[in-house]
Every structure is written in structure tokens, then in C-alpha cells.
Structure 1
Amino acid sequence: MDVIDTWDGRRACLLQEALRMTQEQFAEFVEVSVRTVGKWHSSHGGRPRSDVQRLLDAAYKRATDDARHRFHLLTRSTAAASQAQAFRVAVAVVTKGTDVLLVCRRGDDSISWQFPAGTVKPGRAPAVVAVEETRAETGVRCAIRRHLGERVHPKTGVLIEYHLAEYLMGEAENRDPDENSDVAWVPRAALTRFIPEQTIFPPILEALA
């Protein structure tokens, strides 16, 4: 039996397809939430935490030989297409008076505060993704006010598109506990206490000044 070196959203979705399961069935099979499976479908490049990697390893081992064979056929047939697609993420910088909305991401050994963000699938508008992902992660409804620009992130190498947004309604809460540990409104003046200033896209700092 082949060993999967690292699971990402794309491989997890291909395993679901190889098992011929619905998202609900696959979530139960892997022992994760249905929302986590939905995240894999919307963020093919996202890498699950180490504990979820182990759950996917175990699910792969429980699969039948036929399902594992289908998985590797699917992996080979989609590899070239996946490499050809630009991986783009839309970020929402949501303001409410003098505050800005942040989410606290879970990592393998650490946590980090970030702006709400989501992967942009082909054919989707980044601004729409930024609004929808903000609501899905935090319960906050917002409206895009202007495009702040884009860059290749210096640490991740991912193409990021930034949007300044204004709060409309909704109580901020952590609606994605699998990925995030907290959600908070942070004073603009205290932003760099949560996110290192050198990693923040300069137009964001200018817009929040």
C-alpha cells in the first residue's frame, strides 16, 4: 500500500471521490465535521493540522483496494491541472468604527492572528469570496468598500488579494472551530500587537491609519 506523504484539501477530496461518498458520509468516515470536508472542497491547497493528517491516514488505510486504486488514478489525472491553476486567496479587512476583525488560526504547534480569508475557486469573484468567507468564519456580514491590491505572500508564496470591507451586522463568533480558536474585534491602533507589522500588506496599514 502506498504512503501519502502529506494530505491537502485536493487529496482529501480525491479520496472522498474514490470512496464514492457524500460529504456527510466522508466526514463520518474520517471522523471530522462536515464543515471541515466543505473547507477541503473550497481550499484545495489548504493543509490540515497534524491530528487531521493522522485521521486521513487512517481513513486511507481503511479504504478498499479498489478505492485506493481509484484514488491514485484520480491523483495522477488531476496533478497537472492542479499545478496549472494559480492558487489565489481573497482577504477581507473588515472595519467597525475604530476596530478591525481578526480570526485566530490554529497551527500544528502555534496559533496566529489573521484577517478572514478564503480560497478563490476558478470563475469566482475574489470580493464575493472575501465577504462569504467572513460570514462563514465569523458570522459577520460586511460589504466591500474598495480593493487594496494584491501580492505574492512573502512567506507562503500564495497570491493574495486584499479588500477593505465595512461591518454591516452580526455578532462576531468563532463559527469554524476546526480551523480557528478565536474571533475578535481589535482596535486598529493595536493591530501590530496581533500581527507583526512587517508581514502586513502596506496598503492595509495605510487604509487603517
Structure 2
Amino acid sequence: MTQVKKENTYKLITLGDSQVGKSSFLRRYVNKHYTEHFTCTIGCDFHSKIFADFPDEEARKIYLWDTAGQERHSDACIQFFSLSERKSFENVGNWVAELEKNSSDNISKILMGCKSDLVERREVSFEEGQKLAESFGMQYVETSAKTGEGVEEAMKIFTKEIFSKPSINSIAMQIKRVQDQPTINNNYTCNC
């Protein structure tokens, strides 16, 4: 008997300058945890999260890639910048150009201003972030991985958009029930 189980998988990547809060955001979102001091991501950091509360009873899984260079075959991208570092905001256009060059036209995108808890060090206004996001056809949100402010809300909005489109990476898995078969003896042996 063959049982078909469908699992929709989505690949989400992160883009942005170094130390703008990409890894901290993902750790907060996936693990509900914040670490003040950690080593910068070298190469790739990978997370996954499963969403199961859907009327069609099909699970949806997001693979979150914390690295640049993974744009191909991606369903979604979070473009990060630090609200306390104007240069990272000014570099958003370069990251978006790279994304557009290496991804599908159907990729879901969101612009995320990180470190909203650093109010006294803020260098980018909400209005500037909103205007930039609109110029690239993105939604805009501000978050703090440290306090958790806006993290769940941002991802709830974004995953709703992601899941409204078919995944580039959707798979249907065939799970076959293996039954014990009698061993066949052909009276010969292998000389391997």
C-alpha cells in the first residue's frame, strides 16, 4: 500500500551587511532566545521551522538560510539593515540588486529594520525605511531580537505572504510501507 504525504517546503534567505542582526533575529524567531555575545556567521547558519495549523492539513516548513549566495531557488528573502547604522541602510539597494539578479521574479521580500531597542543610537527613521521598502515593492517592519519586539508579528505577516504562493521547492514524498519478503535462495554466492 502506498501512502502519499505532501510536505510543502519553502526556502527563506537573509541578506544584509555584517552585524546588522540577521543571526540574532533568526535565533529569536526559531528558538525564542537572544544571545548578547556570539561569533559572527562565517559561511552558513541554517534553521528550520514547521507550521502545521492549516485547514488543508498539509504541513509547511521553512528553511531559513543565514548566508549570502543562496538566492537561487529561494521562495523568500528578508533584507536586513540596522536602524543604528545608516551605512547598512544605504547598502540595501546593492543587496536588492544582487537578489534580483540571482532569484526568481516571484520571490517574496520584506525589508526589516533591526535593533529598534537602540532608540538613542537610531540613525534611520521609520518613514525612511517605509519609503525605501515601497520603492522596492516590499513590506517594511522594525524589530528587536534583544527584546523580541516585532519579531513574531513580522514573521506572521511575512509567512502569510510566503504561504500564499506555491513553493519553488515543494515536494511530494512517497512513503511506501515495506513488508517482509521471504528470502530467495538461488544457491549461488557472490565472489566480491
Normalised-by-shorter TM-score class: under 0.3
Larger Rg: 2
TM-score by length of 2: 0.23
TM-score by length of 1: 0.22
Greater relative CO, 1 or 2 (CA 8 Å, sep 6+): 2
